[in-house]
Structure 1
Amino acid sequence: MTALVIAEHDHATVKPATLNTVTAALACGGDVHVLVAGANAAEAGKAAAQIAGVARVIVADSPSLAENLAENVAAQVLAIAGNYSHILFPSTANGKNVAPRVAAKLDVAQISDITKVDSPDTFERPIYAGNAIATVQSSDAIKVITVRTTGFDAAAATGGSASVETAEGVADSGKSSFVGREVTKSERPELTAAKIIVSGGRALGSAEKFTEVMAPLADKLNAGLGASRAAVDAGYAPNDWQVGQTGKIVAPQLYIACGISGAIQHLAGMKDSKVIVAINKDEEAPIFSVADYGLVADLFTAVPELVKAL
Structure 2
Amino acid sequence: MSEAKPAAAPSRGKMKAELSDHFKTYKDVWVFVEVERGQVHPVSWELMGEGRKLADKLGVELAGVVMGASGDGCDAAIATAYEYGADKVYTIQDPLLADYRNETYTKGMTELVNTYKPEILLLGATNLGRDLAGSVATTLKTGLTADCTALAIDDDRSLGATRPTFGGSLLCTIYTLNVRPQMATIRPRVMAMPDRQPGRSGGIVLHPLGMAEESVVTKILDFIPDAAKEDAHLAYADVVVAGGVGLGKPENFKLVKDLAAVLGAEYGGSRPLVQKGWIDASRQIGQTGKTIRPRLYIAAGISGAIQHRVGVEGADQILAINTDPNAPIFDFAHQGIVGDALTVLPALTEAFRRHLSRSQAAE
Whole-Å separation in 2 of the counterparts to 1:44 and 1:225: 33
* Cα 1:18–1:171 shift into 2, 3 Å: farther
Residue of 299, 302, 305 corresponding to 2:341? 299
Unaligned runs of 5+ in 2: 1-26, 353-363
Of 166-175 and 290-299, more deviation after overlay is shown by: 166-175
Q: Does 1:191 align with 2:234?
A: yes
Query: Which one has more relative contact order, counting CA pairs under 8 Å at least 6 apart?
Result: 1
Instruction: Please state how far the C-alpha of 1:6 moved relative to its aligned partner.
Output: 0.9
Contact residue 72 and residue 98 of structure 2 kept, 8 A: no
Q: Deviations over 1:270-298 (max 9, x none)?
A: 23333221112233332222222111222
Bigger share in helix: 2
Give the structure 1 partner of residue 182 of structure 2. 143
Cα-Cα RMSD: 2.6
Q: Per the alignment, in what secondary structure is the counterpart of residue 35 of structure 2?
A: coil
Q: 1:286 aligns with which of 328, 338, 344?
A: 328
CA spacing shift, 1:204–1:38, aligned 2, 3 Å: farther
- Aligned residue among 103, 118, 125 for 2:153: 118
2:315 match: secondary structure: coil
Distance 1:277 1:59, change over 3 A: same
**Residue aligning to 1:67:** 99
Gaps of 5+ in 1: none
- Larger gyration radius, structure 1 or structure 2: 2
In the alignment, the residues of structure 2 paired with residue 286 and residue 185 of structure 1 have an alpha-carbon distance, to the nearest angstrom, of 31
The separation in 2 between residues aligned to 1:236 and 1:223, in whole angstroms, is 19
Cα pair distance change 1:215/1:151, threshold 3 Å:
closer
Instruction: Name the counterpart of 1:101.
Output: 135
TM-score by length of 2: 0.75
Change in CA separation of 1:202 and 1:277 when aligned onto 2, cut-off 3 Å:
same
Greater alpha carbon shift after TM alignment, 266-275 vs 130-139: 130-139
1:28 is paired with a residue whose SS is: helix
User: Contact between 2:304 and 2:329, CA under 8 Å: does it hold in 1?
Assistant: yes
Displacement of 1:165 = 5.5
- Aligned mate of 2:201, from 158, 161, 169: 161
How far apart, in 1, do the equivalents of 2:197 and 2:40 lie?
12
Identity across the alignment (%) = 27
Distance 1:265 1:41, change over 3 A: farther
1:182 to 226, 229, 253: 226
Distance in 1 of aligned mates of 2:336 and 2:160: 34
Query: In 1, distance between residues paired with 2:327 and 2:286?
Result: 17
SS at match of 2:122: strand
Residue 302 of structure 1: how far off its partner (Å): 1.3
Q: Does 1:26 align with 2:72?
A: no
Q: Which letter maps to 2:226?
A: E
SS at match of 1:57: strand
